[in-house]
Amino acid sequence: MNSIELYKNLPKKNCGACRQKACMPFALSVIKGDAELVECPLLSAREINQLKEGITPTDWREDLIRSLREKIVTIDLRDIPQDLGGRMHDSALIMPCLGREFEIAPDGEISTRGHITPWTKILLLHYISTHGKADLSGTWVSYSELRSGMVKASSFLRECEDPLKELFDADSVKISAALEKLGAERSAEFPTPHAWKLFLLPKMPVIILYWPAEDEFPAKVKILFDQTADRFLDVESIMFLLEGLVKNIEMLR
C-alpha cells in the first residue's frame, strides 16, 4: 500500500486533529515513518491493524539505513564509546540521544523503548559510522563557520533556522516545552532569555537562540554548534539532522 492507497482508506475528514492537519499529508507521513496510524483519532483499533498489514514503506531513508547498517557491520563497536560518548552492554553499544538511550547491535539494528523514527536511526548510524575523534571545545560557531558550511549556509537558514523561528513565533511556550522533552536545558550564556543547549548526541551539542520580534527588529533564530561538530559529521549530514530536529519539535508541540 502506497500513500495514495492509504489515503483512500482513511476517513478523509481533514478534521485537523493530527499534526499534519489533513488526511493526505498524514498518509504521506505514515508511509515515510514520520507518523503512526494511531495518531488518527477517527480510526478504530481494527481499522489500524488492517491498514498496518498492507502498508508498503517507500521512503528513500530506509535504503540509507540499510546502507549505513552495512557499514556498522565492519566496525568494532568496542572502539566507539571512548570517542563518541557511549558505553558497551554485552556486545551492544548504548548511545544516549535526545534524552533517551538507544541500543545498537553489532549488525546495526537499533532498539529502545517506544517508537524510533527513521531520522533517529540515520542520526545514530551515521554518527557511529563516521566515528569522529575530538574533545568538545566549548567554542560556539554558526553553521557557515563549519568546514564547507558557507556553501550551504543559505539552505541551512531556509530549511532549519527559519522553520524553527516560525514555530517559536506561533507559540514559544509550547516549543520551549518540546525542547525540554528532548533534553534541552536553558542557557544563561547568551543575550536572550530564549537560549537552549541541547545534545543531539554526546559529541553533537547545539545552542538554539530565539529573539522575538521587537519594535523594528524581526524575530530571529540562530543555531550554534561546537567548533568540533564537523569532525563528527559533514555539513550536509548536520543540515539533515537539524531538519529532523525541527520535525521532532513540531511533533512534540
Query: pLDDT tens digits, residue range 120-139?
Result: 898 899 999 999 999 999 99
Helices (H), 131-229: 149-156, 162-170, 172-181
Q: What cell does 41 get?
A: 483519532
Q: What cell does 38 get?
A: 494511531
pTM of the model: 0.74
Residue position matching grid coordinates 558557507: 150
Domains of the chain: 3-54 (1.10.15.40), 60-130 (no CATH), 140-252 (3.30.310)
Mean pLDDT of 44-52: 92
What local confidence, expressed as pLDDT, does residue 210 receive? 97
Please answer whether residues 228 and 209 qualify as being in contact, where contact means their C-beta atoms are separated by less than 8 angstroms: no
Beta strands of the chain (E only): which ranges?
Answer: 87-89, 92-97, 100-104, 110-111, 140-142, 185-186, 194-201, 204-211, 220-226
| Among 217, 239, 249, 218, residue whose Cα is nearest residue 157 | 239
What local confidence, expressed as pLDDT, does residue 110 receive? 96
75/129 Cα distance (integer angstroms): 8
The answer on pLDDT for 222 being more than 90 is yes
Kindly indicate the confidence band of residue 150, based on its pLDDT and cuts at 50, 70 and 90: very high
